[in-house]
A and B are shown apart, each in its own frame.
Chain A
Amino acid sequence: MIKKYIVDTTLRDGEQSPGIAFTVREKVTIAKSLDALGVTRIEAGTPAIGKEECRAFEKIKLACQNAQIIGWNRMNRSDISQSIACGADIIHVCVPASDLLIREKLRQSRSQVLETLSTCAAAIHTAKRELTIGLEDASRADWDFVIQLIETARDLGATTLRFSDTVGIMSPSFCKATISQIPANIDIEVHMHNDLGMAVANSIQGLRSGAKYADSTLFGIGERAGNCNLEHLLIATQGQLDFGISLDELQWRQADLKSIIYKNELLYA
């Protein structure tokens, strides 16, 4: 079986699902369970949110034995400083890649994006932390700019490039064609949303096309229709891909965590 790795984002993208909210203690409980399960990387949250989130990071760092802990950041020096301060192993920088996001949300230009990214990377290297870069809305971005961002990421010393289908519009064949075209000199991570019900299929195609990591969440929670559901991904790839995670163990651990994740039963319905 081909060896692949899971980046769990239940505590970051998953928690952004409307109505889902964890206390520090709940975050630590979930992280410990993911660590015991064999998840390689845990995206534990966004330290820039505030002190509570930073406190959760510190406790998660102490509680996890094996998993690397990722701090998620906007492309912003102040956010990054907080991630560094709370001890995250990996500092992830999210870079809007589509012209739509650059123009409408950031109100910047492509060249400004590249410039800011370089500044952020320098701060992370100065703090001697691992840098990973995520291309937000990459599936709707201009391919030439995606390639430019990938080359920049590699030149800036990023170890992993996250390709995000932020609004979940990819088809498996489009995903396959896209991920196959990414140069092999950087580790690829696929981050798929489930808006068309294709997050699992797209993650499989991404992994089969060269990605080393797939992002997922418990119960598939996340913005709108959610992220790639870890349990579903394991079911669909049984005997084909080896994530080093037992499906049985995931199922009982997930059942144990259900009351924490869904405090309100109506959300689970």
Chain B
Amino acid sequence: MVTIIDRTLTSFDTAGMSTRDLNHFCDLLFSCGVTKIELTPDLLARLGFPSSAASLRKWLGGRSFFLTRIFPISLDSSGMTKPQPLWKLEPNDLVEKNIPVSKLKSALYPHQKIRITGLEDLMNRDYPTIFKALLGSGAQTLDLCPSNHHHCAAAIALEWLLAGGTSISCAFANHHNLAPLEEVLMSLKLHQPDAFSGDLSVLSELRGLYEKCSGQPVAKMKAIIGADIFKVESGIHVDGVLKNPHTYEPFNPQTVGNQREIVLGKHSGRKSLLYKLNDPGLSESTAHSILKQIKSRCTQLGRNLSDLELQTLASEVQNDKKIYC
């Protein structure tokens, strides 16, 4: 089974984050498929371990730690009630190594627990051979934490897992320039479904919480979690999506807690307009006039029209027609 480590909270300003939000953030990470959440020692007391926090801190010795989940066996003989998972702490004993690819081989020793960071330029190299050498190094644990400075970290992560790697570190929404967690999870779901069991429908909620706690908006067209990625405007795509959404969608929007929306803009066609107005009696010439107005306004505004704006515009055009015809 693949180990997915999320590192978002290790470099996150959690000072303004309430204990409730912190716990909820961790809950959502586990729900979407994260195996381990990496945390810093100062977050211990805020995670519901107050009585033993001091001794735990001593046990950790100032190192970061992993939050994992265990699933207790149900004591209910009927098996009807599923026990809540429990959170468990374990020290992070991975030794981090950031070394150039050319020196990787000599830096790995058998029986070590290693996290390899960097490697942002792997896509320009013979990465299958590099992965093979890494996997044959004899390391007890080999976690890859690729940097996203070359915008290829999710691809490197996926290729690592497809090559046989069993541990990958990432962070939500490209945080700290690490492999975007949501991209790694969805890639895994699509390309190695047997190795994935998370519920990605929580990603939309996770995005909202991330934006609230970090104060950083996630780009509207961010892969997997962008708010606008399932908006469809162009006539060609609307035509396809209305016939069968699968034609122009890589996955169902609900899979990631989002929904499809037909919007009107410069590239809209008659079908989109009829769909939005839901008025079978609309004449050809009126539809043409409304579309012309929509295109002009959207080009000027640099955005789509809201439903209310569309209704107003359609009424205006229809009234003009009544007056002048």
Contact = CB atoms under 8 A, between A and B. Distances in A.
Contact of B221 (A105, A169, A226): A226
A223 B229 CA distance: 7
Contacts of A101: 240, 247
Given A16-B237, A171-B162, A100 B154 contact: no
A49 B162 contact: no
Contact of B220 (A198, A202, A229, A266): A266
Interface string B230-266: 1111101101100110111110000000000001011
B159 A225 contact: no
A173 B162 contact: yes
Contacts of B237: 16, 223
B303 interface: yes
A141 to B, nearest CB: 13
B247 A267 contact: no
Contacts of B187: 171, 196-198
A169 B190 contact: yes
B267 A49 contact: yes
Contacts of B229: 195, 224-225
Size category of the binding interface on chain B = 35 or more
A198 B158 contact: yes
Nearest to A107: B243
Given A172-B123, A195-B250, A264 B162 contact: no
Most chain-B Cβ atoms within 10 A of its Cβ — which of A23, A137, A196, A229? A196
A10 interface: no
Size category of the binding interface on chain A = 35 or more
A223 B234 contact: yes
A21 B265 contact: yes
A53 B221 CA distance: 25
B224 A196 contact: yes
B323 interface: no
Contact of B247 (A21, A22, A104): A104
Interface of A: 15-23, 49, 74, 100-101, 104-105, 137, 166-169, 171-173, 194-198, 200-202, 204-205, 208, 220-221, 223-226, 229, 232, 235-237, 240, 262-264, 266-269
18 contacts: A15-B267, A19-B231, A101-B240, A105-B243, A105-B244, A167-B248, A195-B224, A196-B154, A196-B190, A197-B154, A198-B152, A201-B156, A220-B221, A225-B224, A236-B121, A264-B301, A266-B220, A267-B228
Given A195-B224, A202-B155, A264-B302, 19 more contacts: A15-B266, A18-B231, A18-B233, A21-B298, A49-B267, A105-B247, A171-B187, A172-B155, A172-B159, A173-B162, A196-B158, A196-B250, A200-B151, A200-B155, A201-B151, A204-B123, A208-B124, A235-B149, A267-B303
